[in-house]
Amino acid sequence: MKFTLNVDHVAFLRNARAETQPDPVTYALMAEQFGVDGIVVHLREDRRHITERDVRLLREMISTKLNFEMAADQDIIDIALDIQPELATLVPEKREELTTEGGLNVLDNLEHLKETIEKLHEDDIAVSLFVEPDVNSIDASAEIEADFIEIHTGTFANAETDEEMLEELERIRVAAKHANKLELGVNAGHGLNYQNIKDFRVITDIDEISIGQAIVARSVFVGLEKAIREMSDLIRGY
């Protein structure tokens, strides 16, 4: 299971004071030195955290992979075609939400998502769809020729009882296995942290997880290097 770092939260802190620090590009480059396998950014329509400047600099500077989270809108598709990320992850986007609140409704947006995937594929950009751990959404993702799915782990992360958590973990396990059978790559993310990763890591069939908030939160106390190395060890089961 590879560990990719979402750097949106650092851009959010920078923008809170309309200053230049903390800089998400520096953060990403340091994180690469400490062993993360890829960098994830979400360029939102309202540019509330990551800006085009950040994405373009990251594209130039990072030495791992860039996973570009984006809405399936033409202006963002144009930016993706220009910057050529290794992976474009299509996510639902609502202006008023604090963070991405759930997976895509693939079944109700089949045609639009299919067209978006085709446009990105024409430029050889692999595409992932952020979905709930739901077999029908996964079948639909395969049907419109997505390369990956990213399973939304928010319900697992927010479970209030062990029973709820184990139930959701089982849904994720079944969904990941199903996606693998359909030859989809499987990523996962949202709300993963230093506690719940110990339960989550038992799931095989996951290529990459993406973590943002928990790493920023921990690095405030222990520093970025320790925060990343501790998470890497937990993912590997040490």
> Which residues lie near ligand PXP (CB under 6 A)?
6, 8, 42, 69, 91, 99-100, 130, 150, 189-192, 210-214
**Residue 209 φ/ψ, nearest 5 degrees:** -115, 150
Q: Residue 86 or residue 122: which is nearer to ligand PXP going by CB?
A: 86
C-beta atoms surrounding 107 within 10 Å:
14
Distances (CA, A) of 7 to 4, 43, 66, 69: 10, 11, 11, 11
Please, what is the minimum distance in Å from the beta carbon of residue 214 to ligand PXP?
6
Residue 49 is a catalytic residue: no
- Tokens at residue 3, please? 């560990």
DSSP 3-state assignment of 30? helix
- The least distance separating ligand PXP from the CB of residue 189, rounded to whole angstroms, comes to 3
Q: Closest distance between ligand PXP and the C-beta of residue 126, in Å?
A: 15
Instruction: Please tell me which residue in 9, 32, 49, 69 is annotated as part of the active site.
Output: 69
Maximal C-alpha separation, the chain: 47
Quote the least distance from Cβ 168 to ligand PXP, whole Å: 15
- In the bound state with ligand PXP, the residue whose beta carbon lies nearer, of 101 and 122, is 101
Catalytic (active site) residue 52: no
Report the helix count and the strand count for the chain, using DSSP H and E: 11, 8
- Is 112 one of the annotated active-site residues of the chain? no
**Residue among 69 and 168 whose Cβ is closer to ligand PXP:** 69
Q: Is the peptide bond before 22 cis (omega within 30 degrees of 0)?
A: yes
| Catalytic center residues | 42, 69, 190
